[in-house]
Amino acid sequence: MEEIKDLDVIEELLETKQYTRLRQKLSDINIADIAIILEELEEEELLKTFRILPKSMAADVFSYLEVENQQYIITSLSDREAANIINNLMADDATDFLEEMPANIVKKLLSHASADTRRDINHLLRYPESSAGSIMTVEYVDLKENMTVEDAIQRIRQIGVDSETINICYVLDPKRTLVGTVALRYLLISPPDAVIADIMHENVIYLNTLMDQEEVARQFQKYDFTSMPVADNEGRLVGIITVDDVVDILQEEATEDIEKMAAIVPSDRPYMKTGIFETSKKRIPWLLLLMISATFTGSIITSFENALSAVPMLTVFIPMLMSTSGNAGGQVSATIIRGLSSNEIGYRDIFKIIWKELRVAIICGVTLAAAYFVKLMLFDKSGIDVAVVICLTIISAVSIAKVVGCTLPIFAKRVGIDPAVMASPFISTVLDALTLMIYFSIATQVLHLS
């Protein structure tokens, strides 16, 4: 609500050309809220408002904007203004931005950026996408073991303004190997002449540059840190990752998993920024695959055409049986996928999981079958033989669904496939075919159909 009020005020100030008041108003608003407001403005007003921003805020606000608006702003500014924005961005934010830009714009921006900025950006671009090295920042406070607390505080004053965080400082030896950390609070309460080596924490937990970003998020969750150092294979400190980066990782990974579970090829662009053809292109491949796989269901029904002709009532229960098995499989697959993503379960647990899910399946299947048996007898007036077929199918289908739902994601993870791909509707398609085969097999035996 407050953002809407601020937006109205800013639009009014722009319309009446009260730029001094506008600049003052912007200075009183949080940078993240300014970015949200700018996203609501037309392009001309957005650029005008961005130019009015105090220089100390411009780069920070820029880092919060959507890529399309970042590109519009950067291509509308002069070379000097654009370079100033890039130079004032944190190295990780600048790298993320440049990765989304066309090559000609990147080349132009880097040619006008400072030597330090070019070095930091080129350093981060070396690492694989979605690795710890690609999301870290190189702005941090480093100290030496032989420094005194007074020296350390003086160094923080010198470089702290341009650092991502000063809450944790990193102690390096002459080879830049990470040997310890020291929290700012310990520096503040220690005597000025105390030596860093005596007060630092030596048992340092750090991330490797090639660690996957999902594992990075798990490490933050495990240790409850607000920042973690990133070191290369030789233990040399090359950057840090802060908790705000982890929040972005979690959102990105969750969105990707949801899209895969819905049979959509993941997209890096927001929904409202994606065109209809691009959206269609992301969905068509999976729809085609699922449509082709669903033809097996039709083939199974065709192969049991005689049974259906002899007992037409069997057709009525097909949707219910397929839906029940799909729901049962979907329940367990969602649980297993979540357990795999959080490292709660692994391949070694597969037999324990199958044994547990089989027992759960028996309880669920018998309960569902009993409830449906009552319905068949009291309301549908079905014969006892048909009721037996339906109830046996429910128990069997739920059991198979639970086993398939728990094993497919685990096997997928084992062979290097994202387990989310094995979620509904993929599992539902597999279970539809299995359920029909079970149904008609039981019907053929119980009802003595040829």
250 and 191 Cβ atoms separated by less than 8 Å: no
Average pLDDT, integer, range 334-353? 87
pLDDT at 240 over 90: yes
pLDDT at 374 over 70: yes
Cross-strand pairs, 178: 172
Q: What's the pLDDT score for residue 398?
A: 95
**CA distances from residue 262 to 101, 123, 257, 341 in whole angstroms, order as listed:** 29, 37, 9, 17
Percent of all residues in the chain with a pLDDT value above 90, rounded to a whole number? 40
**């520096």: which residue's tokens?**
187
3-state secondary structure of 169: strand
Q: What's the pLDDT score for residue 450?
A: 60
- Other residues' Cβ atoms within 10 Å of the Cβ of residue 139: 18
3-state secondary structure of 183: strand
Domains, the chain, in order of start with CATH, read: 2-135 (1.25.60.10), 142-251 (3.10.580.10), 271-446 (1.10.357.20)
pLDDT at 263 over 60: no
222: tokens are: 């495990």
User: Is the bond leading into 128 cis (omega within 30 degrees of zero)?
Assistant: no
d(CA 174, CA 27): 43
Average pLDDT, integer, range 184-202? 95
Dump pLDDT digits (tens) for 402-446.
999 999 889 988 888 878 776 666 788 888 889 999 999 999 888
d(CA 154, CA 156): 5
Q: What's the pLDDT score for residue 279?
A: 74
Q: How far apart are the first and last CA of the chain?
A: 69
Query: Global pTM?
Result: 0.66
> What is the rounded average pLDDT for all residues in the chain?
87
- Other residues' Cβ atoms within 10 Å of the Cβ of residue 129: 8
The residue with greater pLDDT, 32 or 277, is: 32
423 and 350 Cβ atoms separated by less than 8 Å: no
Task: Single out the residue of 389, 405, 425 nearest to residue 317, CA to CA.
Answer: 389
Average pLDDT, integer, range 93-109? 84
Q: What's the pLDDT score for residue 262?
A: 60
Residues 6+ apart with CB under 8 A from 364: 328, 398, 402
145 and 113 Cβ atoms separated by less than 8 Å: no
d(CA 46, CA 53): 11
66: tokens are: 């959507």
158: tokens are: 């010198």
Q: What's the pLDDT score for residue 306?
A: 76
d(CA 174, CA 419): 44
Lowest mean pLDDT among 57-71, 158-172, 272-286, 319-333: 272-286
**């480093």: which residue's tokens?**
142
pLDDT at 205 over 90: yes
Q: What's the pLDDT score for residue 412?
A: 86
**């002449």: which residue's tokens?**
193
pLDDT at 1 over 60: no
Q: What's the pLDDT score for residue 353?
A: 94
List phi, psi (to 5°) of 180.
180, 170
Burial class, 154, CB count within 10 angstroms (exposed 0-12 / middle 13-18 / buried 19+): exposed
pLDDT at 108 over 90: no
Q: What's the pLDDT score for residue 99?
A: 83
Helix 55-64 and helix 31-40, axial crossing angle in degrees, nearest 10: 70
Residues 6+ apart with CB under 8 A from 219: 205, 207, 211, 225, 228
d(CA 35, CA 63): 9
pLDDT at 43 over 70: yes
